[in-house]
Amino acid sequence: MSRIGVFICHCGENIAGTVDVAAVTKAALDMPGVVHAVDYKYMCSDPGQTMLKDAIVEKKLDGVVVAACSPRMHEPTFRRTAEEGGINPYQCEMANIREHCSWVHEKGAATTAKAIDLVRFQVEKVKRDHPLVPIRVPITKKALVLGGGIAGIQAALDIANAGSPVLLVEKSPSIGGHMSQLSETFPTLDCSQCILTPRMVEVARHPLITLYTYSELEKLDGFIGNFKATIRKKARKIDEKLCNGCGVCQQKCPVKKIPDEFNEGLSNRAAIYVPFPQAVPNKPVIDLANCTYYKTGKCKACEKLCPTKAIRFDQEDQIEVHDVGAVVLATGFKTMPVNNFSEYGYGKYKDVIDGMKFERLASASGPTGGAMKRPSDGKTPQHVVFIACAGSRDRLKGVPYCSKICCMYTAKHAMLYQHKVHGGQATVFYMDVRAAGKNYDEFVRRAVEEDGVKYVRGRVSRVYEDDGQLVVKGVDTLLGAEPVEIRADMVVLATAVQAQNDAEELAQTLHVAYDPYKFFAEAHPKLRPVETNTAGIFLAGACQAPRDIPETVAQASGAAVKVAGLFSQPELTREPIIAVVDRQPPPVFSHCVGCFLCKAACPYQAIEEEQIKNRNGDVLKVVARVNPGLCQGCGTCVSTCRTKAIDLQGFSNEQVFAELMSI
């Protein structure tokens, strides 16, 4: 037995000037189930709301319809009022007789008739409203940050400084990412390690940050506020607690000729090694593929000589499972390998290098101590050619997008070169200079105007070697496409920024979307740039798209604020507009037949398979179950289900069809 009250708002003249509100009120009173109907000048005003509350009590109403403006405007207001009046807020509906009626139609009988119809729809709907409670989900206030580049470091520090514990998981033996390899950074030319190292140390010392280096995420289950992360700690073969980072092992290890990853192969390292002197943690790792002991069973020199007896040849990978409430993805990027450039020699010329190698050559902490020496013979190159857009904006190479950072770092490289080699000449082949940031274009102009870097507009077609020099065949399109041939001592390719090799796999592990180039996709390109479509998983840095450091840091702090905001709530409450699969007493259990069409249709992976078991644990039936933490209430599943076993609260089949039946 419904007792519905209908409240018709005049909205001053806004509604009453066009719609005959008295007629609507009268019509409402005739609708089955309506026991009370009034019209009033301003329903949203204090007296209006008080009137609604009082009526609920006095008339013992169990549902109300407010015919006024758009629900997108005042639905929360009237639902709160209804709750104060003593009914469930979800038993209050609004009929939009302003935006959808009085404001868009002429005054007259037809418009009033429409208003009456709109009221009738909502009366039919409200009669079938069930009391709903907002969904409350607990939150584990601990964050997982994946990737320890500048993005991950910044996000971890910001979240920890806001008071929540963080697990920082880094794949390689040290945090720092690409930034730790950089020499100086645009647009200020400050030394990269000088600004990064203190942050790395801060991460290591922060009481709320637990660092997992040389570790990977194996699995992520659960949903926002309630994830379960499975982390694999790969065996370093070192007891980290005992090791004091003295470095004796790497000095004494007989295997010495392994190309050093940190120096981009420009120097060598041992089989047991700390990636670079400022590494965090400053603990070595044994490279199993190259250690003599693991290859032949003989050696163990490191074990014998380690003063703290920290070497553990029998150490195994460890698996840990942690509860976390939010995840920040900060796994960064890679650059296109130089052997992708067939026209520039497939990477076979030693003096055709990429930007990252140049960073190591230019770095004071690099293999040459910052002196410009070319890799082939250590000579100082007198003419260096830089090739911008190497692989970027190149459909043929599968990268049609602009890599965004290379115009700037190429200008930086050319400038650093001119500073280091007096009398040398840097020439940059470019297509456009994209320097759209604060002080960026000024930086590029400085390279040209003050440091004498020559910019030639055009792409290079081929690089080959002749008499120990590199011949660069390019073109100057500003001279009417005149071919230009330069004999250079070194060529630097500004190689395209690409997603990490394992990005697709990781995206699938985390159920986040990715673009055609395997960069992780943001929830909205403009308004939700640090969120993914999966609630509780956020993005920072170059794993989303090519980014420089300022942008990376800004985005990391943005992601951290989203996490902190989430963690500041006592628990998650969400509108209960979600799907549910019906449950029936045995032996039916549910009308669901387990076809899982709904599961395939759901854009949020919110539908799970649930086994209904008897006391012996035998599976009696497999049915669908909606995870309320993941469901966003789109209703796609409902229209997919043939047995109507799944329904959407607040927009149920019963309600929608009742509206339709009253047309």
Partner 1 sequence: MSSHHESSSAHPSLAARLEKEGEVSVADCYQCGKCTAGCPAAEEMDVAPSQVLRLLQTETPKHEDRALKSLSIWMCIGCETCVTRCPQEVDLPRAMDFLRQEALARNVANQDADDVVAFHKAFLNSVERAGRLFELGMVGEYKLRTGHFFKDMGIAPTMFFKGKLGLFPHGGANKREVADIFARARAVKKESKV
Partner 2 sequence: MAEQFEPKITAFVCNWCTYAGADLTGTSRIKYQSNVRVIRLPCTGRIDFMMVLTAFSRGSDGVIISGCHPNDCHYTSGNYHARRRWMVFRDLLDFVGIDLRRVTFSWVSAAEGAKWAELVNEATNNVRALGPYKEIQQLAAAGID
Partner 3 sequence: MTDVRVGYYPGCSLQGSSRDFAESLHAVAKALSIDLVEIPEWNCCGASSGHMLDHLLSVALPVNVLLKAKKAGLPQVMAPCAACYNRLATASHEIATSPATKAQVESVLQTSIDKLPRVLNVIELLAQVSERIAPKVTKKFEQTVACYYGCLLVRPAKVTGFDRTEDPVEMDKLVAAVGGKTIDWNFKTECCGASFSISRSSVVGRLGARIMQDAVKRQAEAIVVACPMCHSNLDLRRGEINQQLEHKTDIPVLFITQVIGLALGLPKKKLGLGRHFVPVKFPPRPLAPPAVQ
Ligand X SMILES: Cc1cc2nc3c(=O)[nH]c(=O)nc-3n(C[C@H](O)[C@H](O)[C@H](O)COP(=O)(O)OP(=O)(O)OC[C@H]3O[C@@H](n4cnc5c(N)ncnc54)[C@H](O)[C@@H]3O)c2cc1C
Chain contacts with ligand X (rule: CB under 6 A): 146-152, 169-172, 177-179, 182, 185-186, 216-217, 330-333, 335, 355-356, 359, 405, 409, 412, 500, 502, 506, 526, 541-542, 547-550, 552
Helix (H, G, I), strand (E, B) or coil at 111: helix
Name the E strands within 294-348. 318-324, 326-329, 333-335
Cβ neighbour number for residue 550 with a 10 Å cutoff: 14
**Sites for ligand SF4 among residues 403-432 (CB under 6 A):** 403-404, 406-407, 432
Instruction: Say whether residue 44 binds partner 2 (CB under 8 A).
Output: no
The nearer residue to partner 1, 208 or 431, going by C-beta atoms, is 431
Cα dist from 342 to 186, 410, 464, 487, 498, whole Å: 30, 21, 11, 19, 18
CA distance 58 to 60: 6
Cα dist from 615 to 584, 609, 610, 618, whole Å: 17, 19, 16, 7
CA distance 608 to 606: 7
Phi, psi of 150 (to 5 degrees): -60, -30
- Using the rule CB under 6 A, give the single segment among 104-112, 221-229, 258-266, 628-636 that binds ligand SF4: 628-636
Instruction: Say whether residue 462 binds partner 1 (CB under 8 A).
Output: yes
Q: Which of 380, 509, 636, 662 binds ligand SF4 (CB under 6 A)?
A: 636
Instruction: Say whether residue 635 binds ligand SF4 (CB under 6 A).
Output: yes
Q: Which of 210, 282, 290, 533 binds partner 2 (CB under 8 A)?
A: 533
Are residues 656 and 639 in contact, defined by beta-carbon separation less than 8 angstroms? Answer: no
CA distance 541 to 563: 16
Closest distance of CB 512 from partner 1, Å: 30
Cα–Cα nearest to 648, from 226, 225, 130:
130
The nearer residue to ligand X, 438 or 642, going by C-beta atoms, is 438
DSSP string, 5-73: EEEEE-TTHHHHTTS-HHHHHHHHHTSTTEEEEEEES-TTSHHHHHHHHHHHHHTT-SEEEEEES-HHH
**Sites for ligand SF4 among residues 241-270 (CB under 6 A):** 243-249, 253-255
For partner 2 (CB under 8 A), the number of binding residues is 41
- Using the rule CB under 8 A, give the single segment among 64-72, 306-314, 357-365, 458-466 that binds partner 2: 64-72
Identify what 464 binds: partner 1, ligand SF4, partner 3, none; CB under 5 to 8 Å per kind. partner 3
Identify what 272 binds: partner 3, ligand SF4, partner 1, none; CB under 5 to 8 Å per kind. ligand SF4
Are residues 495 and 338 in contact, defined by beta-carbon separation less than 8 angstroms? Answer: yes
Largest Cα–Cα separation, the chain = 101
Cα dist from 182 to 102, 105, 192, 253, 359, whole Å: 64, 65, 6, 28, 5
The nearer residue to partner 3, 349 or 519, going by C-beta atoms, is 349
Closest distance of CB 290 from partner 2, Å: 46
* Rg of the chain in Å (alpha carbons): 33
Instruction: Say whether residue 467 binds partner 2 (CB under 8 A).
Output: no
Q: Which of 103, 294, 464, 589 binds partner 3 (CB under 8 A)?
A: 464
Instruction: Say whether residue 104 binds partner 2 (CB under 8 A).
Output: yes
**Sites for partner 3 among residues 338-397 (CB under 8 A):** 342-343, 345-346
- Using the rule CB under 8 A, give the single segment among 3-11, 362-370, 456-464, 511-519 that binds partner 1: 456-464
Cα–Cα nearest to 167, from 358, 345, 324, 44:
324
Cα dist from 387 to 215, 390, 414, 490, whole Å: 36, 6, 11, 11
Binding site for ligand SF4 (CB under 6 A): 238, 243-249, 253-255, 271-272, 284, 286, 291-293, 299-302, 306, 308, 310-311, 388-389, 392-393, 402-404, 406-407, 432, 434, 436, 494, 578-579, 581, 592-598, 601-602, 604, 606-607, 624, 626, 631-637, 640-641, 643, 645-646, 648
Which residues are near partner 3 by CB under 8 A? Answer: 342-343, 345-346, 462, 464-467, 471
Binding site for partner 1 (CB under 8 A): 343, 393-397, 431, 457-462, 473-477, 480-484
